[in-house]
Structure 1
């Protein structure tokens, strides 16, 4: 089948206007969110439903055309754009954005893969339910992408990652067949867990087209506080105390270094922490309560009082209104934007055992100062689940182009340290193209061999998002 014949067949399936080939129209689909890589594609295909996806994938299998699935294209590891050969097609799922069903008794919502996360949150809220996944990119990322990377976000401590929030999937396989696994069951012990095989696979095993997701009762009230502490170890002591005092009501526990927030106030001067003095580390914590604001506030104040008596924290601000709560969370959410405004930086999305976080930060900070003297650490993340966004900014006097020359050495220091502490070099962003080769340094031959066996069994011609993960 010639390229012309292939594209004509795609137009017959999708309609001419949904097969995009003009370079200027494809441009937005070909560059990753951080602007680090731009690929090429034979076309961008925009199916409207699962049947169209299946027909297109069957055609790609017949013509041996690689497929790169794409949702909101908000990923950070170059996982949703094609390589530079121009052989692949981008399969954009943005048109597949329907909320198919909400079951209030079963507490589930069935959505298509192109649904924007924020719209799913709103649909749940309108039905007086909660879909708890929350990310900085929630206004543009899609459920398909969240599932493909097993997204975590700020509420993993209480609700888990996307793998925990998903009950069933609909998937188009590499040969164009449709697996209908849209079962809203919390118990289903009937063989291999195919659902969890596709979640986190970054589109390399098949195309997720829809999902059944868990819903939860809406909390009556959410109370937020920010506290200053001297060390990450103190933050861990506070976490243990908060879990004992608040139990399942503790839904957020975010660690932020002083430099992280200093960048926010520098580049967004209208934003302030509200503290009268600076502290080495800050924790943003949130309690979601099913009783009342008075009960939640009393629980949080009791925690703060005990932590101060035990000299675990230095100072605390408890939000007294929804606006103040949003302002505190906005500080956390603006760290990435502030770091980008500061200049070039090297990002890491690592996880280590929660008990080791303080020691990891101390040792790795020291090693990086040896490798790049004067480098500045932008350390923040989800302390409650061991996930750190452990980012490195250039020394103040170093030009961006000189700093980037140190990227490989910085990555090796951070990743070696992460694995030495029994951690993972990718906690929630995935591997994509960016970490595809790096992972070979840390996974055993047995583990890589098992992954490759699965890949070859489900995608024997390597057409599903080739060049990513493996």
Structure 2
């Protein structure tokens, strides 16, 4: 029997995804109030063989949160489970329920003099459970790691309704297989994360940022190496921004102030954080001087205060919105070995030109090898005009990424969008192991069927 007041008819907000590629199905929406409610719901669904799609903030970009076809599932939203259960500043640990919004977790950490460093454009609506289930990345991976690196323990409900009480606050725990890392990044296909023990960090007492014009993506990588030598442990973000992204901003969001009178072909946003007593301005000036002497940087601006630093980041975070206004034909979340990034950028454009005439906006987290390589129509045309070419474009980009030792999913996950890509590029032994794990933990196949692995 399901908990009273937990199940209702699905609202339309649950049945769409941000890029507008699919509309979803749901027989009902369940909104549990606590972990016991989640267990009761999964137990009933397991018995009745009803599919369950876990739902966080709905911000995922690969369709993992919706089911576009097949039997209508139960959509399980954790939006009522938003509690910050505990904060342990001396341990640098915060315990949050899966429905907590990322900005609320960040604020709770800040109120205790700590930092929770996971940060991304959707942090005002993305929920912790979904972020952990997809192993979200964001802008601070270079310094703090992906979402999985920020988790000490989990509480989760398994497909049969049993509760795993793994909500530990330990840095070391070698007691067998690590179920935590199995569930992290599993995209709701192996169980439902209901709470997490999260790692906190000391807050930076000094922060700074610079916008630096670089001569090429190769120069940007050389600049990263130079900066790491001189600013060891202080680089929080290193973002590559292409000239096309700046052109899209000028075209669709002219209110966003651009740092240079003439938009460069390539520039880097360098972001720093340090403890008290570190003169970041002097250090950044030294890096800028050395980079110019080495021919890596031709111009640069160093933020003079927190407002200017925020303005730099506002520009970077506005690029995805400008992309949405233009309308991408095909978007790609890819990663490559750092040394391969310039070669990929050089090769991918000419390869795509053989398919058609496009604009390419290449930007992203260069410091950790993650690019957002997105293909757009030329002025006067729309993405609908190129719909027949979308699969060829994606295959062209992903084939090249695979040849160069990269990944076709860096931080967004597999969801339903990239199931065929995982089969095409994934290691057969890994895929066999994944299917065996899925069968062992979810023999009835009720957990988010069709996501990550194809339905059987």
Using structure 2 for the length normalisation, give the TM-score: 0.97
Q: What are the within-5 Å matches in structure 2 for residues 138-149 of structure 1?
A: 138-149=123-134
In 1, Cα distance between equivalents of 2:16 and 2:199: 32
Q: Which residue of 2 aligns with 1:27?
A: 12
Q: Judging changes above 3 Å, is the alpha-carbon distance between structure 1 residues 421 and 84 closer, same or farther for their aligned structure 2 residues?
A: same
- Residue 329 of structure 2 is matched in structure 1 by 345
Give the CA deviation at 1:266: 1.9
Q: Which runs of 5+ in 1 are unaligned?
A: 1-8
Say whether the 8 Å CA contact 1:66–1:462 is kept in structure 2: yes
Please state how far the C-alpha of 1:404 moved relative to its aligned partner. 1.9
- SS of the equivalent of 1:184 reads coil
Aligned length: 453
Residue of 405, 412, 425 corresponding to 1:442: 425
SS in 1 for 2:165: strand
- Structure 2 residue 274 is the aligned partner of structure 1 residue 286: no
1:386 corresponds, among 369, 379, 400, to 369
**Counterpart in the other structure of 2:359:** 376
Residue 287 of structure 2 is matched in structure 1 by: 303
TM-superposed deviation, 1:19: 1.2
Q: What's the counterpart of residue 62 of structure 1? A: 47
* Alpha-carbon separation, structure 1, partners of 2:329 and 2:301: 30
Q: Report the CA distance between 1:386 and its aligned residue.
A: 0.3
| Distance apart, 1:86 and its partner CA | 4.3
Match of 1:230 in 2: 215
Query: 1:177 and 2:162 equivalent?
Result: yes
- Report SS of the residue matched to 1:406: helix
Question: Does residue 211 of structure 1 match 2:211?
Answer: no
Identify the residue that residue 110 of structure 1 maps to in structure 2: 95
Find the aligned partners of 2:101 and 2:354 in 1 and give their Cα distance: 43
**1:50-129 → structure 2 map (5 Å cutoff):** 50-129=35-114
Q: What is the distance in 2 between the residues matched to 1:175 and 1:399? A: 47
Shift of 1:164: 0.5
RMSD: 1.1
Is 1:153 the counterpart of 2:141 in the alignment? no
1:321-340 alpha-carbon deviations (Å, 9 max, x no partner): 21111111011101111111
Verify the 8 A CA contact 1:102 1:109 in the aligned structure 2.
yes
CA contact (8 A) 2:328 2:383 kept: yes
Which segment is superposed worse, 397-406 or 108-117?
397-406
Answer whether contact 2:209 2:269 (CA < 8 A) is retained. yes
Distance 2:268 2:328 in 1: 26
4+ aligned runs moved over 6 Å, structure 1: none
Q: Which residue of 2 aligns with 1:454?
A: 437
Structure 1 residue 445, shift from structure 2 partner = 2.2
2:91 match: secondary structure: coil
CA contact (8 A) 1:287 1:300 kept: no
TM-fit CA distance, 1:265: 2.2
1:189, 1:355 → 2: CA distance?
35
Offset of residue 87 of structure 1: 2.8
Q: State the distance in 1 between where 2:115 and 2:37 align.
A: 31
1:366 is matched with which residue: 339, 344, 350? 350
Find the aligned partners of 1:409 and 1:205 in 2 and give their Cα distance.
Answer: 32
Q: Which residue of 2 aligns with 1:331?
A: 315
Q: 1:251-296 CA distances to partner (integer Å, 9 max, x unpaired)?
A: 100001111111112211122222133321010011101024x611
SS of equivalent residue, structure 1 residue 346: coil
When normalised by structure 1's length, the TM-score is: 0.95
